[in-house]
């Protein structure tokens, strides 16, 4: 049994899609993170958290410096100084301390460029190139993978959420390919929690497999989000069990990367899910 998708190379790391589910650990530097885990500019704590996540099973560390919680006014693509102040020192330090790939969670080309210079090797764009298409040229020039997320906050759809997400992702993929990004360097994310209702978020997880028609690895990021809180009636720091359920179902439906705050528990769920779902790759 062979992986359907070609591997993605990221520095010294090769992501062999289909062989296992990869875990992306979230490092939030924004003090007003929705999940209450914002680190700010504490470099020692940043490194300690990243190292702990790697020890627990994280394959990627995702670093972000702008809160994207619902209701937060987004910064413009030119308003980057505060974000740079948080993420660049952290990435420079992490690049010296850890060996797994670092992704920069930003939709701004200047932030992404300086983050790549500092040691990041993946761009994670929550706007799927709708805010700053020049990110595609940057990814092509640097030869790094780019994650394109379907974000509906600019025009929340009333119906047809899967079709809308597919259309958004197809548009972003076309922009990336036109800019010269190799097909194997494009990863897609349905964007759960970004301009979707509870029912739409649940539908996306249930129908995640339909994104496979795009021919790209799929990242699923639902960690501690309101879709889980609304179902379980729990605050952000008490949603672990719900997210583990979403993780297992997401893997069964085709997720290749799970982006989470709680790495230890998620990595174990991924290992067990992979043993069942990706049985052809498990060595006796």
Q: What domains are defined for the chain?
A: 18-278 (3.20.20.20)
| Main-chain phi, psi angles of 51, to 5 degrees | -65, -40
**Average pLDDT of the residues in 20-33:** 87
**Average pLDDT of the residues in 44-61:** 97
pLDDT of residue 257: 98
Confidence of residue 283 (pLDDT cuts 50, 70, 90): low
Structure tokens, 46: 């940043």
pLDDT of residue 256: 98
pLDDT of residue 93: 97
Q: Is the pLDDT of residue 36 over 60?
A: no
pLDDT of residue 11: 87
Structure confidence by residue, pLDDT tens digits, 200-212: 999 999 999 999 9
pLDDT of residue 63: 97
Q: Is the pLDDT of residue 75 over 90?
A: no
Residue 178 annotated to the active site: no
Q: Of 163, 155, 153, 228, whose CA–CA distance to 191 is shortest?
A: 153
Confidence of residue 281 (pLDDT cuts 50, 70, 90): low
Q: Is the pLDDT of residue 34 over 70?
A: no
Q: Are 172 and 148 in contact (CB under 8 A)?
A: yes
pLDDT of residue 68: 67
CA distances from 42 to 106, 200, 206, 249 (A): 19, 37, 38, 35
**Average pLDDT of the residues in 111-133:** 98
Half-sphere exposure at residue 188, Cβ-oriented, CA atoms within 13 angstroms: 25
Structure tokens, 157: 């759809």
**Average pLDDT of the residues in 21-36:** 79
Catalytic residue among 259, 271, 279, 283: 259
- pTM here is 0.92
Q: Is the pLDDT of residue 35 over 60?
A: no
In the predicted model, what is the mean pLDDT of the chain? 92
Task: Tell me what percent of the residues of the chain surpass a pLDDT of 90.
Answer: 83
For the chain, strand residue ranges (E) read 8-10, 13-15, 22-28, 60-64, 102-105, 122-125, 146-149, 186-189, 219-220, 257-260
Structure confidence by residue, pLDDT tens digits, 126-141: 999 999 999 999 999 9
Catalytic residue among 96, 225, 278, 279: 225
Residue 271 annotated to the active site: no
Q: Is the pLDDT of residue 48 over 80?
A: yes
Q: Is the pLDDT of residue 70 over 70?
A: no
């Amino acid at each position: 049994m062979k992986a359907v998708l070609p591997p993605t190379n990221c520095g010294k790391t090769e992501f062999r899609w289909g062989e296992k589910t990869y875990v992306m650990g979230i490092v939030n530097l924004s003090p007003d993170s929705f999940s209450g885990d914002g680190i700010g500019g504490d470099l020692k704590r940043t490194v300690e958290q990243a190292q702990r996540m790697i020890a627990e099973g994280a394959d990627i560390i995702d670093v972000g410096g702008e809160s994207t919680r619902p209701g937060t006014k987004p910064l413009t693509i030119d308003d980057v100084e505060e974000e740079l102040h948080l993420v660049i020192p952290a990435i420079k330090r992490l690049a010296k301390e850890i060996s797994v790939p670092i992704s920069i969670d930003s939709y701004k080309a200047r932030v992404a460029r300086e983050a790549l210079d500092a040691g990041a090797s993946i761009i994670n764009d929550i706007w799927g190139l709708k805010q700053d298409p020049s990110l595609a040229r940057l990814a092509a020039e640097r030869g790094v993978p780019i994650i394109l997320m379907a974000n509906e906050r600019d025009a929340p759809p009333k119906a047809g959420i899967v079709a809308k997400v597919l259309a958004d992702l197809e548009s972003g993929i076309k922009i990336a390919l036109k800019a010269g990004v190799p097909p194997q360097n494009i990863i897609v994310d349905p964007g759960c929690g970004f301009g979707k209702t509870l029912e739409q978020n649940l539908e996306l997880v249930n129908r995640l497999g339909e994104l496979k028609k795009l021919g790209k690895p799929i990242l699923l990021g639902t960690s501690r989000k309101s879709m889980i809180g609304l179902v379980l009636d729990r605050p952000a720091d008490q949603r672990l069990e719900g997210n583990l359920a979403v993780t297992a179902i997401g893997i069964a439906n085709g997720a290749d990367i799970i982006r989470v705050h709680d790495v230890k528990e998620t990595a174990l769920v991924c290992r067990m899910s992979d043993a069942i779902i990706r049985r052809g790759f498990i060595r006796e």
